[in-house]
Amino acid sequence: MILLERIADHYNDIADQTAVDSVSDGVVSYGELWEKSGKLANYIEEKMGADKSPIVVYGHKQPYMIIYFLACVRSGRAYCPEDISVPDDRVRSIIERTGCGMILTAEKEHDVLSGAAAEVIDIDKAEEIEAVQPEMITEDKAVSGSDTFYIIFTSGSTGTPKGVQISADDLDSFTSWSIHLGYGPEDKEGAVFMNQAPFSFDLSVMDLYTSLASGGTLKTIDRKTQDDMSALMKTFGESHLNYWISTPSFATMCCGMPEFCEDHMPDMRAFLFCGEALTNTTARRLREKFPKAKIVNTYGPTEATCAVTSAEITDEMINSDEPLPVGVPGPNTRINIRGLDGREMPEGERGEIIISGKNVSTGYFRDEAQTDKVFFDDGMRHYHSGDEGFIKEGQLHFTERMDFQIKYHGYRIELGDIENNLLKEPGIDAAAVVPRMREGAVKNLVAFIAGMGDPKDPFGEGKKIKDALREKLPDYMIPKKIVFLDKMPVTPNGKADRKALKGMVR
């Protein structure tokens, strides 16, 4: 696999260079990354033998997370990253669904893993293994071709997350393109890439593997630092960041800080965005604050390996009245716009964005029915994105979702996921979640529920429901407000009348 070969080359050529630098959990060099992951891979292979099930990797921003990812794939097994922000119930259900025989964790406290029928390896144990394992694994054991490299679970409309499988070939296709984003690969060796997204969110693939493929240093920024603006600005000032990878929401938030500017972060070369719409306003503010840095808008779903199109944002685009384009596809990808009847739409007309080519996933983990709904293969892989868009002058433009999936601060949420979890609560007969919008972006979520009548203490009851949801769903999926209805308004075909509900949240 090209990516692993590149990392092996860095081990030979730049072993002392820092590969991963975390805010509070130390650093690892390319030498350590390769040796530690090679020895752990040997251990995994010895212990697991014929069991090729994926391995869950649980933790946050520790450099050990990356050592573990590489250990899994070098042993020939996919990894499934789970961040500490994922609620315990969801982590447990993912462990069960993957049937993993081993879990690697970078967390000292990991009670959530205790009930699992799998061997749990933490950092202490990993270090013991590395001390006694004489050799690294041989490269012929590593995942390659259509073998799954990682599985990322995303929100599923039924209330059960979907595991997107990304193969070694998919990731090679992605990184062979992503190393050219902003500047060429020659400029990226030794460069510092910011990691903001949790590793369980596929946006992190852009910083992690673009950095490792090009011999850069990944600066991981933990949640605690991200939640403290002055600590965050201090970290930015000290980190010599060159490449910024985040959702536009995160950059918009940082734009409010005076330190977030070229004087304080003079090494910034490019801002790479993905995951949600980049607005002209945010792009303009960034241009003012970082006049020398490039701004690159990219687009793509987890199902097509993070991103498939890119546009370098010009001043002309920023200052026009048109929303910013998401750009042109990479060399291994084809984008088509299809109408409801499946026919290709002419230039400028809206339809569903169909993504085809080498980045497209092999499908959802052990879920043929879901896979068959959105993927198809005619010698080439194709994915129905569920996104609406159009092509104008060669550039793809994203317009809106065609279903009930939304983006909230860059996080992908199926409203059905929240609704189905609400329906599991006693007394709730009907549930519909509606996003409250501000300037085209989701500001927060409002849940309408019926079946519980008109409680005496709606605030207290609402809090109880939110607390119950928190056990199952990540924080960003918890509705801000719960509205109790006598009866759910419905459309003539019996579905929740979202239009009427939307009218009630304004």
Residues 400 to 459 in contact with ligand AMP, rule: CB under 6 A: 401, 407, 412
Q: Which of 44, 277, 396, 432 binds ligand AMP (CB under 6 A)?
A: 277
217 vs 249 by CB, closer to ligand AMP: 249
Entry field: residues in the chain:
506
Q: How far is the CB of 2 from ligand AMP (least distance, A)?
A: 23
Question: Which long-range contacts link 462-466 to residues 24+ away (Cβ below 8 Å)?
Answer: 465/422, 465/425, 465/428
Q: How far is the CB of 252 from ligand AMP (least distance, A)?
A: 14
Give the C-alpha separation, 211 to 17, whole Å. 12
216 vs 300 by CB, closer to ligand AMP: 300
59 vs 301 by CB, closer to ligand AMP: 301
Q: Which of 387, 414, 417, 419 binds ligand AMP (CB under 6 A)?
A: 387
Q: Which of 81, 198, 275, 462 binds ligand AMP (CB under 6 A)?
A: 275
Which residues partner with 55 through β-bridges?
A: 79
Angle, CA of 284, 285 and 287, to the nearest 5°: 65
287 vs 407 by CB, closer to ligand AMP: 407
147 vs 387 by CB, closer to ligand AMP: 387
- Which of the stretches 65-73, 74-82, 273-281, 440-448 binds ligand AMP when contact is defined by CB under 6 A? 273-281
Angle, CA of 101, 104 and 108, to the nearest 5°: 135
Q: How far is the CB of 279 from ligand AMP (least distance, A)?
A: 10
Q: How many residues bind ligand AMP (CB under 6 A)?
A: 17
154 vs 359 by CB, closer to ligand AMP: 154
Question: Which long-range contacts link 363-369 to residues 24+ away (Cβ below 8 Å)?
Answer: 363/165, 364/162, 364/163, 364/164, 364/165, 365/54, 365/97, 365/98, 365/151, 365/162, 365/163, 365/164, 365/165, 366/97, 366/163, 367/162, 367/163
Task: Give the single-character DSSP code of 480.
Answer: S
Q: Is 165 in the site for ligand AMP (CB under 6 A)?
A: no
Q: Minimal CA–CA distance to 214: which of 236, 241, 193, 238?
A: 193
What mask of x and - would describe binding to ligand AMP in positions 177 to 216, judged by CB under 6 A?
Answer: -------------------------x--------------
Q: Which of 62, 133, 154, 204 binds ligand AMP (CB under 6 A)?
A: 154
Q: 71 Cβ partners below 8 Å, 6+ apart?
A: 36, 37, 38, 40, 41, 44, 104
Q: Minimal CA–CA distance to 316: which of 305, 325, 306, 308?
A: 325
What mask of x and - would describe binding to ligand AMP in positions 291 to 310, judged by CB under 6 A?
Answer: ------x-x-xx--------
Q: How far is the CB of 372 from ligand AMP (least distance, A)?
A: 19
Bridge-based pairing of strands 430-438 and 192-195 is unpaired
Q: If phi over 0 gives left and psi between -120 and 50 gives alpha, with beta otherwise, what is residue 433?
A: beta
| List of E strands, 249-379 | 270-273, 294-299, 309-312, 328-329, 333-338, 351-357, 363-364, 375-377
Q: How far is the CB of 399 from ligand AMP (least distance, A)?
A: 9
Q: Which of 118, 151, 274, 283 binds ligand AMP (CB under 6 A)?
A: 274
Give the C-alpha separation, 223 to 476, whole Å. 14
Q: How far is the CB of 250 from ligand AMP (least distance, A)?
A: 14
Q: Minimal CA–CA distance to 30: which of 255, 172, 239, 212?
A: 212
43 vs 398 by CB, closer to ligand AMP: 398
Q: How far is the CB of 301 from ligand AMP (least distance, A)?
A: 4
- Which of the stretches 66-74, 78-86, 275-283, 314-322 binds ligand AMP when contact is defined by CB under 6 A? 275-283
The owner of tokens 């012929």 is: 140
123 vs 353 by CB, closer to ligand AMP: 353
164 vs 478 by CB, closer to ligand AMP: 164
- Which of the stretches 51-59, 268-276, 371-379, 417-425 binds ligand AMP when contact is defined by CB under 6 A? 268-276
Q: How far is the CB of 70 from ligand AMP (least distance, A)?
A: 23
Which residues partner with 502 through β-bridges?
A: none
Which residues partner with 392 through β-bridges?
A: 395
Contact positions toward ligand AMP, by CB under 6 A? 154, 202, 274-277, 297, 299, 301-302, 326, 385, 387, 398, 401, 407, 412
